[in-house]
Structure 1
Amino acid sequence: MKFTMESRLPCAPELMWDRVADTATFRLVSAPLMAFLSLDPGGFPKRWTAGGTYALSMRLFGRLPLGRHEITVLDIDPSARRLSTSERGMLIKSWKHTMQVKTDGSEGTLFRDELVVRSGVATPLIVAGAYFFFVYRHWRMGRLVRDGRLFT
């Protein structure tokens, strides 16, 4: 099952692209709805690395354990401003996620998430949860950009 979500953000695409590969941004735009804790020795790297695999613990509202989650960064393409991952977890058999940053035709940014989930009979439930999470992430990202807190 596949879905795409796009948001227009009032910032330069170069600034937003710089944040996409930053692991602190991943955690910031997910909080406080979801908390991701690194299970890797040394914790999160500063930036995602193509070919890297990262083990995480997911927690709803920072407290309710949702199990282990693994992110493998498949590709980071700076010229296309695109980052693609392959992920899996407790109920998630296959989660292919692509984030892309483009100019919105003016001075802003078009941020796009594309997600393909395959998890058998659990797929509709996982997609519903992912959709809600992505709506939250896009809302939070927009708020952080407008408040000037994403680029500090």
Structure 2
Amino acid sequence: MPGKVHVESDYDVSPDALWAVTKDLDALREMNARMVKMEGLPSGNMYAGQDMTIRTSLFGLLPAQDYRIVITDLDDTAREFRSSEHGSGVKTWNHIGRVIATPTGARLIDEIEIDAGGMTPLVVGWANLLYRSRHKPRLRILKTRGAFT
């Protein structure tokens, strides 16, 4: 049975500024750097139909393994993307990321459905940590880009 991850992160920036960081693969690499090394991830913005096979290594310590990410949908107007992912022991990792406006700025909502067989509870727990760990690096990236007014 698949497990679910739901993480919401609020920022005092415009929804457009947060969306720009959300779809930026260079920002993704930087935000994940402490927990996942991502070899072969292209630079630039993700786009609908993009199909990437990269190599991932937990904490850069475990042997790198193939991991496939397909951006199945990306809508700049709705500020939403969907990806279908698998590899490194994960059968399916279906991710919806969306940015919404809030009274004080913007919120990023990540919803992930994960099937890793018998390891699903462990992978879901790790994914919760991973997505929460992105908050501070994302703040740093937003600050570097001048998103805070």
**What is the TM-score of this pair, normalised by structure 2?**
0.88
1:55 is matched with 53
User: 1:9-68, CA deviations, whole angstroms, 9 ceiling, x for partnerless residues?
Assistant: 121111111122211011111122221111xxxx61422121111011112233433521
Report the Cα distance in structure 1 between the residues aligned to 2:76 and 2:99, rounded to whole angstroms. Answer: 10
CA RMSD after TM alignment: 1.8
- Structure 2 portions without partners, runs of 5+: none
Q: Which amino acid aligns with 1:7?
A: S
- The unaligned stretches of length 5 or more in structure 1 are none
- Which residue does 2:129 correspond to in 1? 132
Alignment of 1:4 with 2:6, yes or no, is: yes
Given that 2:25 and 2:42 are in contact with CA atoms closer than 8 Å, whether structure 1 keeps it comes out as yes
Match of 1:84 in 2: 82
Quick check: 80-89 or 134-143, which moved more?
Answer: 134-143
| Aligned positions, number | 145
What are the equivalent positions in structure 2 for 1:27-106 lying under 5 Å apart?
27-38=29-40, 44-106=42-104
Identity of aligned residues (%): 27
Are the aligned partners of 1:57 and 1:67 in contact in 2 as well (CA < 8 Å)? yes
* 1:151, distance to aligned residue in structure 2 (A): 5.1
TM-score by length of 1: 0.86
